[in-house]
Amino acid sequence: MADVDPIDFKHPKIQAEVHIAPPAPKRLRSKRAKLLAGLALGVKLAFVGWFMLADGDHVATDNAYVNADSAQVTPLVAGAVAEVPVVNTQAVKRGDVLLRLDDADARLAVARAEADLVKARHQFAQTRATGGSLAAQIDARDADIGQAQAQLAVAQANLRKASADFGRRRALAESGAISGEELTTAQSAYSAAQGNFALARAAVRQAAATRGAARQSWAANQALVQGPVDTNPEVAAAKARLAQAKLDLARTVVRAPIDGVVTNRQVQVGQRIAAGAATMTIVPIGTAYVDANFKEGQLSRVRVGQPVRLVSDLYGSDVVYRGRVIGFSGGTGSAFALIPAQNATGNWIKVVQRLPVRIALDPADLRKNPLRVGLSMEAEIDVSKS
């Protein structure tokens, strides 16, 4: 290729044809630079002023997560699982059946408790009827005492007669008017009368003691039958056992304690579970809240009751949730870690801590756009309102 001569743009003819403008003077360029620098400084100052006036009344964090007071479903009685009518992700209402256990043993326990209650009632009726028999025994013992006292009176009269006969014969025996044999007979009769009198007196005491025992038995019986039948200790205990058996039977059907969504179901039909074993969890998404972890330097103006603007990563910035601050955690997350930080060491480096702030969500917003536990949120607190 042949060489081409370079164009001389400084030639007057060339400049006339292409109309090349001469370079601007240095003073003009300096003014433009100063104008641009001043404009940039003005924009920066305006931004800083806007931030101080507007964003200075807000603190925000993206370290926030949805949480809820979930309910752990645990049966209160042991048994084999007969039916599980719910599955994970299913929405349930309070009182809906979540789990059924085999209730055959529980029904037998109710039948035994009912039989024990009937037996206790019959025993109470029998005890009450025994009271009449014991009262009659007291009357019989009173009659025995009367009879013993009469016998004692007879024995006492016989003793006096025998004593008098023995005294006369002993006087006559001294004068020789009667024989020694007759005196011996009189003495024997007197001794026998003394023995009969002692026996009669003992019989009276025995009859009195028997009557006392009969009265004690009657009093003990009356203590058992006082008041209505349901206040009897045996009957009351039988009723308590029946109530417990019926309660255990009712507990073979496990119902939802709250409204929510079933999650983490861990039980299958045919599985035998113990009382208190975790079977599933109910998450109350209608009452979910947010735990926002703010830096400690952001919390100087945060107060309970301040409004909060929240955005969920699930729905994006187009869906805004309204909330309010309802409380602060009792400590930072690191303070309750499994292995807390040992800040007393000489190599300690200060790390900015975060404190969980509890934020309640507007129920209307939750109904319109439901959330799930663990979802990420962005929270912005308006600290201008206290």
Task: Supply the CATH number for residue 366's domain.
Answer: 2.40.30.170
Query: What's the pLDDT at 234?
Result: 87
Inform me whether the pLDDT recorded for 6 exceeds 60: no
Q: Which of 192, 227, 247 is a domain's end point?
A: 247
pLDDT digits (tens, 9 = 90+) for 36-68: 777 777 777 765 555 554 456 889 999 999 999
Q: Which of 202, 220, 247 is a domain's end point?
A: 247
Do 368 and 238 fall within a single domain?
A: no
Do 295 and 341 fall within a single domain?
A: yes
146 or 89, which is more confident:
89
Tokens read off for 245: 């058996």
Do 226 and 143 fall within a single domain?
A: yes
**For residues 176 and 165, what is the distance between their CA atoms, to the nearest angstrom?**
16
Do 241 and 340 fall within a single domain?
A: no
Do 138 and 222 fall within a single domain?
A: yes
Query: What's the pLDDT at 49?
Result: 56
Contact 128, 225 (CB under 8 A): yes
Kindly tell me the burial class for residue 314, based on how many C-beta atoms sit within 10 Å of its own C-beta (0-12, 13-18, 19 or more). middle
Do 131 and 242 fall within a single domain?
A: yes
Whether 312 is in a domain gets the answer yes
pTM of the full structure: 0.62
31 or 355, which is more confident:
355
Give every CB contact of residue 324 below 8 A, 6+ residues apart in sequence. 305, 306, 307, 308, 359, 360
Do 110 and 65 fall within a single domain?
A: no
Do 140 and 186 fall within a single domain?
A: yes
Query: What's the pLDDT at 256?
Result: 96
Inform me whether the pLDDT recorded for 201 exceeds 80: yes
Whether 278 is in a domain gets the answer no
**Angle, helix 180-225 to helix 104-175, in steps of 10 degrees:** 160
Query: What's the pLDDT at 54?
Result: 47
User: Band of the pLDDT at 192, cuts 50, 70, 90?
Assistant: confident
Do 225 and 312 fall within a single domain?
A: no
Whether 256 is in a domain gets the answer no
**For residues 245 and 106, what is the distance between their CA atoms, to the nearest angstrom?**
7
Q: Domain holding 210: CATH number?
A: 1.10.287
**For residues 20 and 6, what is the distance between their CA atoms, to the nearest angstrom?**
17
Task: Tell me if residue 141 falls in helix, strand or coil.
Answer: helix
Query: What's the pLDDT at 106?
Result: 95
Whether 130 is in a domain gets the answer yes
Do 111 and 238 fall within a single domain?
A: yes
Whether 374 is in a domain gets the answer yes
Whether 260 is in a domain gets the answer no
Query: What's the pLDDT at 153?
Result: 85
Do 232 and 290 fall within a single domain?
A: no
Kindly tell me the burial class for residue 296, based on how many C-beta atoms sit within 10 Å of its own C-beta (0-12, 13-18, 19 or more). exposed
262 or 352, which is more confident:
262
Query: What's the pLDDT at 306?
Result: 93
pLDDT digits (tens, 9 = 90+) for 80-129: 999 999 999 999 999 999 999 999 999 999 999 999 999 988 887 877 77
Strand order in the sheet with 79-83: 253-255, 97-101, 79-83, 272-273
Task: Tell me if residue 107 falls in helix, strand or coil.
Answer: helix
Give every CB contact of residue 7 below 8 A, 6+ residues apart in sequence. 14
Q: Which of 229, 247, 265 is a domain's end point?
A: 247
DSSP-derived pairing of the beta strands 71-73 and 280-283: antiparallel
Whether 47 is in a domain gets the answer no
Helix or strand (DSSP H, E) at 270: none
Whether 49 is in a domain gets the answer no
At residue 273, φ and ψ (nearest 5 deg) are: -120, 150
How many CB atoms neighbour CB 160 within 10 A? 12
Question: What is the number of structural domains in the chain?
Answer: 2
Do 136 and 221 fall within a single domain?
A: yes
Question: Which residue segment(s) compose the domain that 350 sits in?
Answer: 56-69+283-382
